[in-house]
Chain A
Amino acid sequence: MPRVLLIEDDPSVREGVGLGLRRRGHEVSAAETGEAGLALMRSFRPELVLLDLMLPGINGVQVCRRIRDTSEVPIIMLTARGDDFDIVVGLEAGADDYIVKPARTEVIEARIKAVLRRLSDPAGGRPEVAHHGELAIDRSGLTVAKNGERLALAPSELKLLLHLSASPEQVFSRQQLLEYVWDHSYHADARLVDACVRRLRHKIEDPDRSPRYIQTVRGFGYRFGPL
């Protein structure tokens, strides 16, 4: 069972969520502030971070950025629906998913499992490393290199890229991507996809050219290529 770091300032949520997750067999370490959470990152070495966006001191978005500077650990934000702006900013900062509070433990655990889930390869029997232009995508090692240089991709970015590149030139709607990549029941937030695409493009595309690998198909969604 994964080791979860919970960064949440409200004691009742911290204790309640911690208790619920421990009951389901997770190893939970809780921090009250962003600073304490960042300190625990090194000592506790979590496999997943549950991060409240509204923190005193350095806020959740900043904590998210700091974690992303050094680590590709999956990050799920705890937010309140309606704090729309925060969701977008949090996603841009590198969070993989978000949960709207209040949430039942089963919902929280389902999200944790979805983020940690490895993508099943939709088309087996292909070479382990596929080359697309300057990108080399290793499906079994789950690494991506550009011009031989390995890219640091967050779990959601990696999954999205693997999914799109598995069927080059096929268009996927945002809703399909939410289902396949995030395991979200159908009507989650398409902004998850858009924010993830933006982060991914930032890492794999040439900044001064229009996107080559992940192309937008207006009115339909996204596709990989054609290169």
Chain B
Amino acid sequence: MRRIAPLGLRTRLIAAFLLVAAICAVTTAALTYQKARNAILKQTQDTAVSSLREQIEQQTTRLPMTQDQLQAVVTELGKRGKPHPWTVFGEYGSLRASSSSAAPFGPVTDTLRRKVRENRYGAFQRVENGSGDPYLTIGIAAVFPHGGVAEPTGAVYFASVPLTDESRTVQAMVDAAKQGAVPAIALAVIPALLAARSVLRPVRDMRRAAQRLGLGRLDTRIEVRGADELAGLARTFNETARALEHSVAELREAEVRARRFASDVSHELRTPLAGMLAVTEVLDEDAEQLDPDTAKALRLVSAETGKLAVLVEDLMEISRFDARAAELNLDDVDLAVAVGKTLERRHWDDGRVRTDLPPGVRARLDPRRFDVVLANLVGNALRHGGAPVLITVRTGPGEDGERLLVEVADSGPGIAPEVLPHIFDRFFKADAARTRSAGSGLGLAITLENVRLHGGTLRAANGPFGGAVFTLDMPLEAHA
């Protein structure tokens, strides 16, 4: 079942305008038609009825009437039709007469006969003959005055007046109304379009502006026209955008300052560390010949210098990601070889890590960053989870080209549910009691950034059999 698409504002406005115009035109036409028709017909009726009555009253009849007398009266009446020529029929008991030989009994209905008997002033009825021409039929019972009271003579005269002219007049009016209504409705489209445009343009401008705002163009403003509600809305929009721009600018400045500070600090730390790190070997070697306390102190300095160097290196790496200064140096690599070398370099090729690699898969990626990602995931799996660790590499179709899927699963207890959402946070301590993690505390954050730089995603979850599972999904061919 498809839902019908909602109509646009423009369509609805035009439809409303047309509907109003149509209702106006139709109502006006209908009322005009009805009034005019009634007026025209009433005039014809009244004239015909009164003239028939007059004519009947002028006739002298002797009762009881014979067929000849009835025919004579009818013929006489038939000559004096007003406003139009008419055909007159007479009925007296069982006698019948007609002024026209073409219509011997005429279109007199029983309804009219009954009405005439009930109403001594006469009655009339509009009828149509077989070919649909309208007629007015009038019936009047002839009376004679008797002691101040009109007594019926028993003769009833009917006149049938053709209404062709009136019908034509009315038809002409209907046509005029129709011909007037259609252009009126058509003309209504113009103000409808204008009104729609005047409403829609600000709405459309606002939509575009909102889109631009959403894309981060916070300097977007709308031109305010006029002083109506839409202009008020535009003004409010502009004020909102201005406020937003201001606060975002402040936030960005603060963020830039914070990032620059982190970056500057790590840069500043690097130079003294370079000097310190170069001499740690000397400390370690000479500690052998010194008293135990000094030796211990020297080894401590040496070990911590090494850790500090790693931390500073990681801090700088994160700073570069934050400053969008991290670059991809892409190369085409054989995945099986790349994974094998990563394990080999760190001496993890001793059976603790199992691999499930399709041979001959080539990917375009940054080998150094990929190595860092994989080493970090496997290192974490070994440290926090436990051997055996399984690396599964698969390729599959994605929305925009082939995807590379790498899964690193360990055999440990898995990741605690309260830890999962924060696993990629910087310096996140899974165990509050552990003041310092084995690494810099930035490992997984850097891993995630490296994956993102390749246009991929990294998810952490617990596998069906309890161990932690990290799933890396990135394009098989990354773009710098």
Contacts and interface: CB of A to CB of B under 8 A. Distances in A.
Interface of A: 10-17, 19-20, 23, 80-82, 84, 101-106, 108, 173-175, 185-191, 219-221
Interface string B307-332: 00100110011001000010101011
Shortest Cβ-Cβ A-B pairs, 5 listed: A12-B275, A16-B278, A16-B275, A102-B274, A187-B371
A124 B323 CA distance: 51
A104 B329 contact: no
A102 B270 contact: yes
Contact of A187 (B272, B282, B309, B342): B342
Contacts of B329: 189-191
B133 interface: no
Contacts of A12: 271-272, 274-276
Interface residues of B, number: 41
10 contacts: A12-B271, A13-B278, A101-B270, A103-B274, A105-B279, A108-B278, A173-B331, A173-B333, A185-B345, A186-B345
B79 to A, nearest CB: 114
B106 interface: no
Contact of B281 (A14, A106, A220): A106
B260 interface: no
A111 to B, nearest CB: 13
B362 A104 contact: no
B181 to A, nearest CB: 74
B265 to A, nearest CB: 14
Nearest to B345: A185
A19 B283 CA distance: 11
B278 A186 contact: no
Contacts of A81: 313, 316-317
Contacts of A189: 329, 368
Interface string B143-155: 0000000000000
Contacts of A108: 278
Contact of B278 (A11, A19, A174): A19
A117 B274 CA distance: 25
Nearest to B320: A82
A219 B364 CA distance: 8
Contacts of A220: 332
A11 B306 CA distance: 20
Nearest to A217: B332
Nearest to B340: A186
Determine which residue in B317, B325, B331 has the highest number of CB atoms from chain A within 10 A of its CB, and name it.
Answer: B331
Given A82-B325, A173-B332, A175-B333, A23 B278 contact: no
Interface string B251-281: 0000000000000000100111111111111
B441 interface: no
Nearest to B341: A186
B170 to A, nearest CB: 88
B66 to A, nearest CB: 126
B278 A104 contact: yes
Contacts of B276: 12, 16, 102
A175 B334 CA distance: 10
Contacts of A104: 277-278, 280-281, 306
A65 B277 CA distance: 29
Nearest to A176: B337
A14 to B, nearest CB: 8
Contacts of A105: 278-279, 281
A215 to B, nearest CB: 15
A174 B331 contact: yes
A16 B274 contact: yes
Given A20-B279, A186-B341, A186-B367, 18 more contacts: A11-B275, A13-B271, A16-B278, A17-B278, A23-B281, A82-B320, A101-B270, A102-B273, A102-B312, A103-B277, A174-B331, A175-B331, A175-B337, A186-B338, A186-B342, A188-B368, A190-B329, A219-B364
A60 to B, nearest CB: 15
A80 B320 CA distance: 12
Determine which residue in B281, B309, B344 has the highest number of CB atoms from chain A within 10 A of its CB, and name it.
Answer: B281
